[in-house]
Amino acid sequence: MNDDVSTIKPGIVLQGDGGVSSGATILMHKRADEYTDVILCLAPESTHDPFVIWTYNHARGRCLRGEYFNSLQYALNAYEEREF
């Protein structure tokens, strides 16, 4: 795979589209394929639990497939298992 030039990195605050991803801070990310990252975020504006794992699609520039957690430890466990 080519060098990772993704702007999706830990510490980045997502701009989002006015939804839950707006203002979410990326805690961790891993490459799923050349178009997609899996990201673990803290989403303080979430009406669900504050920790969320999303698939980030670079072509669309948005987050998809959210899984929400009330604990960072639960989120980390799920993040480690999630491939896409």
pLDDT one digit per residue (tens) for the chain, 84 residues:
344 556 788 998 988 777 778 899 999 999 999 899 999 999 988 888 999 999 999 888 888 889 999 999 999 999 999 887
**Structural domain tally of the chain?**
1
Give the pTM: 0.85
> What is the 3 state secondary structure string of the chain?
CCCCCCCCCCCCECCCCCCCCCCCEEEEEEEEECCEEEEEEECCCCCCCCEEEEEEECCCCEEEEEEEECCHHHHHHHHHHCCC
| Residue 16 belongs to domain spanning | 1-84
